[in-house]
Amino acid sequence: MNPETNPYIPAAGSRPPVLAGREEELDTFTVALGRLGKGVHARSIILDGVRGVGKTVMLREFNYIAREHRWITSGVVECDEGEQLPRIVAKLCHRALRDLDKRWKAGEAMRRAFGVLKAFTLTLGEDGHWRFNIDFDAVNGVADSGDPEVDIVELLGEVGRAASEHGEGVLLLLDEMQFLSRADLGLLSKAIHQISQEVLPVLIAGAGLPQLPLMLKEDKLYAERLFTFRTIDSLATPQAAKALAVPASRQNVAYAPDALAYILEQSHGYPYFLQQWGEAVWNEADSSPIGMQDALAAHELVTDELDRRFFRDRYDTATEAERIYMAAMADLGPASHRSSDIAARMGLTVKTASVRRDGLLKKGLIYSRVDTELDFTVPQFAAFIQRIHPFDAAQRPRRGRPPQDTSKKFSKEF
C-alpha cells in the first residue's frame, strides 16, 4: 500500500486515528467540567499507567474537550525530575492566563491575576530554569509570602476568579507527575483540598506512572477524596481491533481475520504497539486484505523499531549495575517480582541491592504499586532485556567505568 496514505501514527503523545476504549475516562472528565461550571464540587483527575498506553494522549484530549467547553487551559506541562512544584504551578498559571488574555483583553480580575503571578514568581528566585515574561506590576500581599502552601492556593484562587469573571473555568494539565517529590505531591494535595472547599472553577488533570496513586495516598490519606484515580491499561480485544481496523477501513482496506488476531496477540493491546504494528504492516502489504504473510513480514520490522526507539533508549539510561538488576528481574519472568527474590537471584542481600532498585525507581524504569512487588514501567521490556542482556549470575559491574551506549536520551512522553 501507499506509505503516503498510511493512517497509523506511532509517535509519542500523538492522538491515534481512532481513540478506542477510553470512553469512561472521557465521560468522567466531561462530567467534572460540567459540575464545576455549574458551581458544584468535582474532583480532579489522576491517570496512571505504564509507558505506551496513551496517558499523554488523554491529557491532550482533555485539553481539547475543555476548550470546546470554553474553559481556559494551560496545555500539557511535563514535570522534570528535580523541578519544584512552585515553579511548575507558575508555569501552568502563566500559560492559562495567556490563553485567557487571547480571548478577553485584560479585565480587572485578569490584570490582578497576572499581578499576583508576578509577585509569586519573584519569590522563586532566578535559577535560570525558566523565566517568566509578565508585563504587569506585582500585586503586594497576595501569593508572595514565600510559604508555598499558602502562596499556591492564593495564586490558583486568583486565576480561578479571573476565569470565572468571563463565565469560564481553568484546566491545569500536568504530565509525568511521578517525578515530583513526595513533599511536592503533598503540597499539591493540600492546595487542591483548599481550592475544592471554595468550589472555584479550577480543575487539575494529571498523569504518571503506576506508582503515582500510591505516592499521593501515602503522603495524604485524604487524597482518595480529592482525586478520581483512573488506571489506563492495554485495550481489550474488541477495542484493540477497532483501533487497528477502523483507520484502514476508512481507506477501503481490510485485515484478514488471522492477520488481525496475530497482531492483537503480539501487541497485547497496547495502543503505541498497535500503531507501530499498523504502520509496519501497511507498508509491507501490497493490497487489501492485509494478510498473515504481511503480518509475519512486519514482525521483524516492528521488533527492530521498538528495540531502537522504545526500549533501547530507556535501557541506556541505566548504569551497568542497574542493568544487571533488570536482567535478574527479566530472568525471573514477565510478571512482577518481590525485591527479595530479585536480590536473591543476583546473590545479594536486599539491602545491598536496594541502591540499584532505588536508582531504577527514580529513573522511572521500574515501579511498585505494592510495597515490595516490582515491575517494569515499559510493556514487554522483560523480553527485550532477555534478548540483549541475558542474566549471568557471575556478572559484576565494572568499578569506575561508565555504562555503554549512553549517548541517547529517551522521551518521557511515551
Q: Are residues 261 and 357 in the same domain?
A: no
Dist. CA 8–CA 357, nearest whole Å: 36
Are residue 214 and residue 277 in the same domain, yes or no? no
What is the per-residue pLDDT for 371? 63
Name the CA dihedral angle for 182, 187, 59, 244, rounded to a multiple of 10 degrees.
20
> Is the alpha carbon torsion for 135, 136, 142, 146 positive or negative?
positive
Q: Which cell numbers hold the place of 267?
A: 501487541
Whether 177 and 280 map to the same domain: the answer is no
Write out the three cell numbers for 71.
474553559
The Cα-based distances of 197 to 128, 193, 277 in angstroms read: 35, 6, 47
pLDDT, residue 409, reads 41
Same domain, 140 and 274: no
Are 309 and 327 contained in the same domain? no
CB atoms within 10 A of CB 7: 19
The pLDDT of residue 319 is 96
Return the ∠ at Cα 393 (arms to 387 and 399), rounded to 5°: 95
In a domain, 36, yes or no: yes
- For the full predicted model, state whether its pTM sits above 0.95: no
Same domain, 98 and 203: yes
pLDDT at residue 226 in the model: 87
Helix, strand, coil in percent for the chain, rounding step 5: 50, 10, 35
Helix, strand counts (H, E) of the chain? 17, 8
Domain that holds residue 268: 235-313
CA angle 251, 255, 259 (to 5 degrees): 150
| Dihedral, CA of residue 277, residue 282, residue 283 and residue 285, to nearest 10 | 120
> Is 61 in the same domain as 194?
yes
The pLDDT of residue 406: 41
Residue 280 resides in a domain: yes
Residue 15 domain flag: no
Q: Within 10 Å of residue 207's Cβ, how many Cβ atoms? A: 29
Cell numbers representing residue 340 in the block: 527479595
Domain at 167, CATH number: 3.40.50.300
How far apart (Å, rounded) are the C-alpha atoms in residues 328 and 385? Answer: 9
Please indicate, yes or no, if residue 11 is contained in any of the structural domains.
no
Query: Collapsing DSSP states into helix, strand and coil, what is residue 118?
Result: helix
Distance CA 84, CA 152 (A): 12
* Beta strand residue intervals within 34-181, DSSP E: 44-48, 72-78, 170-175
Q: Which amino acid is at 271?
A: P
Interacting residues of 405 by C-beta distance below 8 A, sequence separation 6+: 312, 315, 316
Confidence at residue 110, expressed as pLDDT on a 0 to 100 scale: 82
DSSP 124: T
Query: Is 176 found in the same domain as 269?
Result: no
pLDDT on residue 398: 81
Query: 279 lies in a domain?
Result: yes
407 grid coordinates: 549517548
Check whether residue 106 and residue 204 sit in a common domain. yes
Same domain, 91 and 197: yes
Question: Residue type at 131?
Answer: R
What is the rounded distance in angstroms from the CA atom of residue 84 to the CA atom of residue 157?
A: 20
* Below-70 pLDDT ranges, the chain: 104-106, 125-132, 135, 219-221, 370-372, 399-414
Q: How many domains does one find in the chain? A: 3
The residue whose grid cell reads 506590576 is 137
Find, among 106, 31, 17, 24, the residue nearest to 69 by Cα.
Answer: 31
Residue 414 resides in a domain: no
Structure confidence at residue 413 (pLDDT) = 42
Q: How far apart are CA 329 and CA 339, in angstroms?
A: 9
3 DSSP 8-state letter:
G
